[in-house]
Structure 1
Amino acid sequence: MLPPARPAPPVPATGTRRGGALTPGASLSSARVAWRHSLRFRLAATYSLLALALIMLISLGVVSLLLSRMDQQFNARLNDRAETLAEAFTNPGAGLGKTAGGVGAYTMLIDGDGKVYATSTALNDYKDAPFPFQKPGNVMIQNTPVRAVERKVGLVGTLWVGLPETELIAARQSAVSALLAALICTPLILLLVGWWVGRRALSGLQGAANLADQIDPTRSLATLPLPAREDEVHRLLSAINRLLVRIEAGQAREKQLLGQIVHELGAPLTVLKASLRRAEERTDDPEVRRAALVADELTFTTQDLMQLARGQLELKLAWHYIPARTLQERLERLVPGTTFAGDWTGGILCDPDRLTQAIRNLLANARRAAGPNGSVTLTLKETADRLTFTVRDSGPGLPPELGERIFEPFVSGAGSSGLGLSVSRQIAAMHGGGLSGGTHPQGGAEFVLTIPGAALGDED
């Protein structure tokens, strides 16, 4: 009596279950897009930069106009005071009722020899001294910036009038400071507002992306919900839904065609197997025996294709305890030229047909990669709780751009159908083990298939 098979440990999955089906992409739905790659951030940053440039141009124009007007008003006040004083000295009666000086005004009278003979109170230090300034304009008086003009007053001489620019300079500095503060604070405010607006505007697109990650391609492709507003997001999701409908229709046609092909191959293979079995019993020819084993492998492949056409690639195991030598002999007949290494004296608890199919796929791929003159080695290593089958070839190794995709159905780096490695990994997983592959540091591809050991006691 055969020993009972130990239950295989659960195979880790990266997805979630929805309606009983594994959704491999569901784990991506919770992934957050890096802020620097986010569409919301790019839109907010673009909006902020454009708004900042526009605000900067407008602000510079407004501040320049404001400063220009302030300068014009200052010059008008200065000229008005100078005209009033000049008229008062020239025609004393015409200046009645007009304010000649004002708080903070500076005045000096200069004779024809360039000597100051009369000043306002603040400029008494310059009285009876040569005129200290070469020409009117901006001068410094007692550490105060002053803007001055001159007027001829007939026989009196020259009238020099100045106004301090302290308030004008303070107003300029206040305007420039306000402009700089606006240019610093505005981008931050615009960026936050743009981020919030972008988040609100693109919320439908983000929800659709999360739902798209949860679509199980092995089942019916559900369409994405459309937002109520018929905007660009609505148009994009509508186009994606139409694409999903076309994909689902194409998958249905492919499955139907695959099922028809498998059905057409099944009947001839059944007849071929029966004929080869009878010929093997009559002749005991090793070539006929090998052909019969190849026909068995083709039958397994057609069964896998039929299950794939039905939308699932699920295999069933028939557990047996066999000597490792039996497995070695079957593999020697299926893939001639294989070098066997390691310890093949123990026993293996497995489905012999399925395990043979898994290792045979690895050896066939290795032989195809190594070529007729290359080497293919299968090494069996047994530990207390695990059996490890290592297949290594002398070929060029695995394409680095494929990575783990090499185990996906219909993905191949050697021109084959791409089903072999996918089936082999599933068989290893159903036995409670796994299959990994890569390029060996010394060259060539290396695949490692592991299954649990039998761990039989004396009673078993």
Structure 2
Amino acid sequence: MTPEARPVTTPAGARRAALLTPGAGLYSARVAWRHSLRFRLALTYSALSAVLLMLITLGVVSLLLSRMDQQFVDRLNDRADTLAEAFTRNSGGLGRTAGGAGAYTLLIDPDGQVIAASPALRDYIDAGYPFGSLTRVPIQNTTVRAVKRQAGNFGTLWVGLPEDDLIAARQSALSALLLALVTAPLILLLTGWWVGRRALAGLEQAANLADRLDPAHSLEPLPLPAREDEVQRLLGAINSLLGRIEAQQAREKQLLGQIVHELGAPLTVLKASLQRAEARLGDPEVARAALVADELTFTTQDLMQLARGQLELKLAWHYIPAQTLRDRLDRLVPGTTFTGHWGSGILCDPDRLTQALRNLLANGRRHAGAEGTVTLDLHETPEQLCFRVRDSGPGLPPELGDQIFEPFVSGAGSSGLGLSVARQIARMHGGDLTGSTHPEGGALFTLTLPGVALSDDEGEDLADSDLLDEPPLTPAGGPGS
């Protein structure tokens, strides 16, 4: 059997349906990191913080290196000026070592010959000046930055300072910058995740509470947190929405009940009149009209059950022969093939069980067609009664699963309530209703009820009780309202 209309399931709806499946661990499940608001906030916070930190650090390091370089240049110029002044003031520097420890000096005459040098550069004395216009020269495996000054009548004074300390400081600053750029984003990400987890804990709890809501069973308001924040406002808005949904559901049930009540009486009169006309005239058109009236009567019964809800319905228990149930169903759904053991008794609400099985048989007949077959098999064990309804239709689409039992999965010639009401009635009796596709084709619905194992004495007691009395039948064997 193929349901006439297939609900569209979105990926998000499929994920939520999977979470709501029993055993899926809805409330203990953690949101995947790529779908976590905490992770996205922490990642955004970390990325922005890392960019800002990089810009600030680059600025600070650049300023620091610039100041260090300027200090080095100032020290070099100060030393060169001091030495040049010593040579020009009454030849006060003549014969002394130019500079101090760590300084490199050369005194160059107007002809370009080195006439004096610091101890590390004595090899250049009495030779031509070797460095030309270079301001950075390699000396003894180190880089030396140099400047020139006029040394009075002696010529030109060349003064250099090694850049080892400056280069080491620059490398240390760049290493610190690189380390900060590598570790800071990770630290910021972990910190943001921890802060976000604490800050959004109330939001996660609100989401878990909202996931527990089931409008079909309960619309109890959610508990509000003590702290007045966005989470409390969100839960308050949800509670307000729940109140409006509950009021709307009550109005819909009331309206549905009124509609069914208004339709029930004229349909009952119409059905009885058509049945009498059929018995008197034998006209097939009248018989077909009687079947349509019967279909409408059962539709109103399904609507009434939907309006009342399972908790508001009470079963009228009777112990009836299975053959009585079979006779009812044979009149309601002509052409049904009955197999199995129908000689036992059934403890049930006859009207409700008739309604459930009639819905299954009519559904099967609708999809099997006029030339197809519909079979109802009864199998009894000490533990349960098992009704199997099989048709020769196309079977059930495997992707729908239990969605075929949802209300208003409807289509041509159907209200979409039959399977939903049938399962509800089965569960009210302590049983269940499942559906599948038979291996040989066609739909197979299995309705189970708890078994009633009676001893001989118990059977005699029940024979004297009212439970064995068959309840009055509604017109055409249909269930009462």
CA distance in 2, matches of 1:119, 1:306: 116
Q: In the TM superposition, what are the counterparts of 1:99-178 in structure 2 within 5 Å?
A: 101-178=99-176
**Number of residue-to-residue matches in the alignment:** 421
Q: In the TM superposition, what are the counterparts of 1:271-310 in structure 2 within 5 Å?
A: 271-283=269-281, 291-292=289-290, 294-310=292-308
Question: Could you report, residue by residue, the CA deviation over 1:430-460 in whole angstroms, capped at 9, with x for unpaired residues?
Answer: 685543468x99xxx9643134699999x99
Match of 1:356 among 341, 355, 358: 358
Tell me if 1:435 matches 2:437.
no
Partner of 1:253: 251
Partner SS, residue 224 of structure 1: coil
Partner of 1:230: 228
On the 8 A contact 1:358/1:427 being kept in 2, the answer is no
Tell me if 1:449 matches 2:450.
no
Are residues 320 and 40 of structure 1, via their aligned partners in 2, closer, same or farther at CA, if it must alter by over 3 Å?
Answer: farther
Of structures 1 and 2, the one with the larger relative CO (CA 8 A, separation 6+) is 2
1:257 deviation in Å?
Answer: 0.6
Partner of 1:49: 47
Partner SS, residue 310 of structure 2: coil
1:344 deviation in Å?
Answer: 5.7
1:357 deviation in Å?
Answer: 1.4
1:406 deviation in Å?
Answer: 4.2
Partner SS, residue 74 of structure 2: helix
CA distance in 1, matches of 2:413, 2:92: 110
Partner of 2:29: 31
On the 8 A contact 2:356/2:423 being kept in 1, the answer is no
CA distance in 1, matches of 2:102, 2:373: 104
Structure 1 spans left out of the alignment, 5+ residues:
1-13, 16-21
Partner of 1:191: 189
Partner of 2:322: 321
On the 8 A contact 1:407/1:421 being kept in 2, the answer is yes
Partner SS, residue 28 of structure 1: coil
Match of 2:66 among 60, 68, 87: 68
Question: Could you report, residue by residue, the CA deviation over 1:396-433 in whole angstroms, capped at 9, with x for unpaired residues?
Answer: x9697x66544321344669543233234445666855
CA distance in 2, matches of 1:421, 1:125: 109
On the 8 A contact 2:305/2:421 being kept in 1, the answer is no
CA distance in 2, matches of 1:137, 1:345: 111
CA distance in 1, matches of 2:122, 2:92: 27
On the 8 A contact 2:77/2:147 being kept in 1, the answer is yes
RMSD: 4.4
Aligned AA (1:128): D
Partner SS, residue 63 of structure 2: helix
CA distance in 1, matches of 2:405, 2:303: 16
Q: TM-score, normalised by structure 1?
A: 0.75
1:75 deviation in Å?
Answer: 0.8
Structure 2 spans left out of the alignment, 5+ residues:
1-15, 347-352, 457-481
On the 8 A contact 1:322/1:352 being kept in 2, the answer is no
Question: Could you report, residue by residue, the CA deviation over 1:106-157 in whole angstroms, capped at 9, with x for unpaired residues?
Answer: 1122233433332211223333333332323222222212211122223322
Partner of 2:420: 422
1:302 deviation in Å?
Answer: 2.2
Tell me if 1:346 matches 2:348.
no
Question: Could you report, residue by residue, the CA deviation over 1:30-78 in whole angstroms, capped at 9, with x for unpaired residues?
Answer: 3321121111111111111111111111111111111110111111111
Partner of 2:350: none
CA distance in 1, matches of 2:73, 2:211: 71
1:250 deviation in Å?
Answer: 1.4
On the 8 A contact 1:323/1:345 being kept in 2, the answer is no
Are residues 169 and 245 of structure 1, via their aligned partners in 2, closer, same or farther at CA, if it must alter by over 3 Å?
Answer: same
Q: Percent identity?
A: 63
Q: TM-score, normalised by structure 2?
A: 0.72
Aligned AA (1:449): F
On the 8 A contact 2:376/2:388 being kept in 1, the answer is yes
Are residues 23 and 144 of structure 1, via their aligned partners in 2, closer, same or farther at CA, if it must alter by over 3 Å?
Answer: closer
CA distance in 2, matches of 1:80, 1:413: 99
Aligned AA (2:152): G
CA distance in 2, matches of 1:174, 1:414: 81
CA distance in 2, matches of 1:258, 1:25: 35
